[in-house]
Amino acid sequence: MRKIVAGKLHGIHVTEANLNYHGSITLDPDHCEEAGLLPMEFVEIWNKNSGARISTYVILGERGSRCCILNGAAARTCQPGDPLIICNSVYVEEAQLTRTRPRVLTFNRNNHITGRLTYSVERNADGGYSFSVLDEAGAALPVPALVGGSKPTGLAD
């Protein structure tokens, strides 16, 4: 079994940090449902400003509120306005990898969804894997290491 990404809220911004509430992260149910995050599910949280990485569980806030509230000890890792990456995961057999399609939502500063992406892994004819990021229409987007067709930095010929 391999642990892989199941869904992701990428660039969602912290709306509040509540040190006095007992643990968790409070998220808008609309965002959770669309990305496939469940109430009480453990998620990894990565703060894009500070680099802090934490793990906590999801509780649902008010529908339509676009909230992202860090509670309890997690509140010490983030400030309102910080952009986060919130990711859930699933364990799959390697044979299931190509059938898994993680959903990724991207956000603006007001936590409005700006993009809906899907990750796709395919098996190559030589037995290796390829990875794609697909937009809402299913078109492949550039993968960062391949932007502009250049070779990743730090690699010798």
| pLDDT value at 33 more than 90 | yes
Instruction: Please provide the CATH number assigned to the domain covering 2-114.
Output: 2.40.40.20
Q: pLDDT tier at 151 (50, 70, 90 boundaries)?
A: low
Q: What is the mean pLDDT of the chain?
A: 92
- Reported for 136-142, long-range contacts at CB under 8 A and 24+ positions apart, including other chains, are 141/117
| Active-site residue set | 24, 57
Domain ranges (residues) in the chain: 2-114
The whole-number pLDDT of residue 147 equals 53
| pLDDT value at 144 more than 90 | no
